[in-house]
A and B are shown apart, each in its own frame.
Chain A
Amino acid sequence: MKPIPLNRGRRKSRWLTAGLSSASLSLAALTPIAQPDLTEVPIEALVQMQITTVARKAEKLSQSPAAVSVITQDDIRRSGATSIPEALRLAPGLDVARLDSSDWAISARGFNDVFANKLLVLQDGRSIYTPLFSGVFWDVQGAMMEDIDRIEVIRGPGAALWGANAVNGVINIISKSAKETQGTLITAGGGTEERGFAGIRYGDKLGDHAFFRVYGTYFNRDDSALADGQDANDSWQLGRWGFRVDWDVSDQNLLTLQGDAYRGAINQVFGAFDTNAPGFTRTDHDEFDPRGGNVLGRWTHTVSADSDLRLQLYYDRTERDTSIFKEKRDTFDADFQHRFPLGERQDLVWGTGFRLTSDKVGNTPTVSLNPDSRTTDLFSAFLQDEINLVPERLRFTAGSKLEHNDYTGWEIQPSGRVLWTPQDRHTLWASVSRAVRTPSRAEDDIILTSAVPTGLPFPFPPVAVATIYGNRQFDSEKLLAYEIGYRVQPHPKLSFDLAAFYNDYDDLRSLEQGPSPTQPAAPGVIPIHPENKLYGETYGAEAAATFEVTRWWRLQPAYTYLQMQLHKRPGSTDTTSELDEGKSPHHQFSLRSAMDLPHDLSLEGTVRYVDSLPALGIGSYLELNVRLGWRPTKNLELAIVGQNLLDSRHPEFSPSFINTQRTEVERGVYGKLSWKF
């Protein structure tokens, strides 16, 4: 591990304060800029006039009784983010840590890990978390970034509507309709870490009422670095292509059909369990080719302005073939939803869903699943009633999801929320909700073996073999969450969004010593198995503000505070899980600045501070991303982007469970061209 100078965090935070105080200084110096009277301008000139895009209004969120934020296409473009995880750094309250070139640990409100399992992630209504470990393989997720309309991030439980796994948050990636992506778009670029990337999209009409687009993208990302600066041999290439068709069959019926496919080439260094290797650990320089695809159809029927029906079906396939683990998975999902008003003051939404997922695993001595193939299904139904107690002022929302899964049977996840708008620019909300995280396939059936050095002298063996066995008696993890929030717009140019929470968890996963009650242990190994002998509390707060300093300059500071306290039940033999407290930062701070400058230039900068992760031996860090864009015509944009500029390299997270190298994120610079016609 690279030693971290003690004064580093302090020195940097001084600079941060300097940056902040200059921002507040300019607040004091702020005077309204005289605008020419546009009614005096001839209309012919109005047609040619350019507008600023910084001040474009975001979707109105003030009416939502939950901690919600939205990352818009404009935010993504201005940030220079080239992947969905990097774009997620723009959402206040999310903890996004890059593990290596292709992997991230992403969570909200604690429990972050490479195998973080309390966040539900959806892309255009399709779940992209894997039931294998209830988390996301971020290395195969993506989109043509320009075709993303927005990313909605809900912190806190969303289980009443979305169902299990929506424990600490929901991320919803929503792409533009085909109607909004007409014409040709070509993007290309490259640099030091983003070695090369390109994308092409073409959209056109199919008759009077139907639109389509097709796209293809490719990127090649450089290896990250080891602590000593050597290449980590983890480069990441991926190609993705897809289509979308939107057909307005009539005023009341909309059909959407979309699909994507991808194929990657990922380098990774694994420590594989091998009894023939010295120390029982073999180093594999693996190159694997993950591949997959999906096709989704959605029918939306509008009955009236307040009532609609939606039916959605999708099929998804993923294949992963590494030297230590192989998996093929097919998922079929059907989802129905109906919204309608009940009387004058109530809005009802109800729905049902069915999901079937089937896997086939190629077992290796390092990772295997027993049985090696399993099919599970999930039935769910939900009902939510939104009651306007006082129109425009006081709203109560109650709802619950009821679902049946093959692991734990029935689960009920209710929630109650109240939204109070005492004045037009003030909104207060509060909620109490229950959510569960159902067991994953791995927690039921895994056999994960690694060699652990004993440190004992001869004649004792130098290494011991430890194996984690799945436990079919493992139960769901439960959460009771209490949240409050306040949104206020004291001035048309200034808004604040504050949220605080207290989460009470029970039956969290612990790793107990001894054989699993449902899997026989191999002779000579130290058996470990999951049980539910951990409980804990987390609490914290998130604050975000948007300040439109001028028509052409916007500042967005955000701060996140988190405390995690985990405890073992009496009788637990777990020695590691309590340390998870130290894998999520106590403090995170970011400041984004976006400017539209004269001569068609735009300049964006983001500084972010992340507190230390003591359980992983990772120090606090401050990083800076800067993007300079030039749009000489409305069809062409050139940009130069600097990422992680403040350090030549820095670590953000460490591997867990699977033996891969700890790597560091390197400073990077790239250029990009976007051409529309």
Chain B
Amino acid sequence: MNPESFRGWSMKLVIWSFLFPLLVLTGGQAELAEESLPSEYQLKAAYLFNFAKFVEWPPEAFPEPTAPFTIGILGEDPFDEDLERTVKGKAVAGRRLVIRHVKALAELKSCHIVFISRSESRKTGRWREIFKALGAACALTVSEADGFVEAGGMINFVTEGTRVRFQINDPAARRAGLKISSKLLNLAKKEEP
């Protein structure tokens, strides 16, 4: 290919690389909707909803029979609005789901699921402070950092390439009075030999 025709060809490539998404967006939207992949945190939001479904909390975890089910986010919220959108209007075991952005560790005890964001996990020693603040509260601790379940956390998200899996520390959950269903336990990533 001579340089001039190559230049013409590469110009077309530039134009197409910008036009192509435009065509897809305007022309092929219905098709694409099926193909489009969720983001990491949309998927994690769906997982959190499922954890609420497949874990059993003792009755004393709820101050009254109609009390809502609270998911607390500790640290910088990585979900943007995906978690709110996911649980909006949803209920688990007859309880309304609410999201709470936890500012002080003392608020943790009123949460049923505590999602500890990466921003918290970067501070060494922070997990221990969190677990101490939780004490014997019936809260499922979930994070997304290496070593979380080894340090005493209950569920940890692990991203494997383009998939999101999770690890479970069942003894820690049982100590807090939580019963994790066998379905969830079976799907969890097993300890590597």
Contact = CB atoms under 8 A, between A and B. Distances in A.
Interface of A: 15, 18-19, 22-23, 25-26, 29-31, 33-35, 38-39, 41, 43-44, 46-53, 55-57, 60, 179-180, 248, 251-252, 254, 302, 304-306, 308, 492, 549-553, 593, 595-596, 598, 603, 605, 607, 624, 626, 631, 634-635, 642, 645-648, 667
A598 B124 CA distance: 40
A595 B49 CA distance: 29
A302 B15 contact: no
Given A38-B45, A43-B50, A492-B80, A50 B125 contact: no
Interface string B92-126: 00000000000000000000000000010001111
7 closest cross-chain pairs (CB), A and B:
A634-B161, A38-B46, A302-B124, A305-B123, A26-B22, A22-B18, A645-B10
Nearest to A211: B146
Contacts of B161: 631, 634-635
Nearest to A22: B18
A50 B86 contact: no
B10 A35 contact: no
B163 A49 contact: yes
Range for the number of chain B residues in contact with chain A: 35 or more
Given A33-B33, A35-B36, A53 B162 contact: yes
Contacts of B187: 43-44, 47
Contacts of B21: 26, 549-550, 553, 595
Nearest to A248: B147
Contact of B15 (A19, A179, A667): A19
B167 to A, nearest CB: 12
A305 B14 contact: no
B78 to A, nearest CB: 6
A598 B86 contact: no
Contact of B39 (A15, A48, A551): A551
B67 interface: no
Interface stretch (B24-32, B57-65, B132-140, B170-178): B24-32
Contact of B25 (A15, A29, A49): A29
A634 B162 contact: yes
Nearest to B48: A39
Contacts of A47: 163, 165, 187
Contacts of B147: 248
B38 to A, nearest CB: 6
A22 B15 contact: yes
A46 B50 contact: yes
Interface of B: 3, 6-7, 10-11, 13-15, 17-19, 21-22, 25-26, 29, 32-33, 35-43, 45-47, 49-50, 54, 76, 78, 80-81, 86-87, 90, 119, 123-126, 128-129, 146-147, 151, 159-165, 183-184, 187
A408 B97 CA distance: 66
Given A39-B46, A308-B124, A51 B29 contact: no
A558 B114 CA distance: 39
B37 A51 contact: yes
Given A47-B165, A304-B125, A305-B126, A41 B10 contact: no
B125 A35 contact: no
B8 to A, nearest CB: 11
Contacts of B128: 251
B43 A46 contact: yes
Contacts of A252: 124-125
Contact of A51 (B32, B43, B49, B125): B43
Nearest to A308: B124
Given A33-B29, A39-B90, A47-B163, A57 B10 contact: no
Given A252-B125, A492-B81, A553-B21, A648 B38 contact: no
B129 to A, nearest CB: 7
B160 A634 contact: yes
11 contacts: A22-B19, A26-B18, A33-B33, A38-B38, A39-B46, A49-B163, A50-B37, A52-B36, A551-B39, A553-B21, A645-B13
Given A25-B22, A26-B25, A552-B37, A605 B17 contact: yes
A292 B129 CA distance: 45
A248 B29 CA distance: 50
Contact of B184 (A26, A43, A57, A302): A43
A251 B29 CA distance: 51
A344 to B, nearest CB: 14
Contact of B183 (A33, A43, A648): A43
A308 B37 CA distance: 41
Contacts of B129: 305
A57 B38 CA distance: 14
B119 A60 contact: yes
Contacts of A39: 46, 49-50, 86-87, 90
A31 B21 CA distance: 13
Contacts of A23: 18
Contacts of A550: 21, 25, 36
A281 B120 CA distance: 63
B178 to A, nearest CB: 17
A50 B162 contact: yes
Which one of A15, A29, A48, A603 has the greatest number of beta carbons of chain B within 10 Å?
Answer: A29
B150 to A, nearest CB: 9
B42 A35 contact: yes
A249 B98 CA distance: 40
B24 to A, nearest CB: 9
A48 B6 CA distance: 42
A47 B39 CA distance: 14
A305 B124 contact: yes
A596 B14 contact: no
Nearest to B21: A553
A52 B38 contact: yes
Nearest to B90: A39
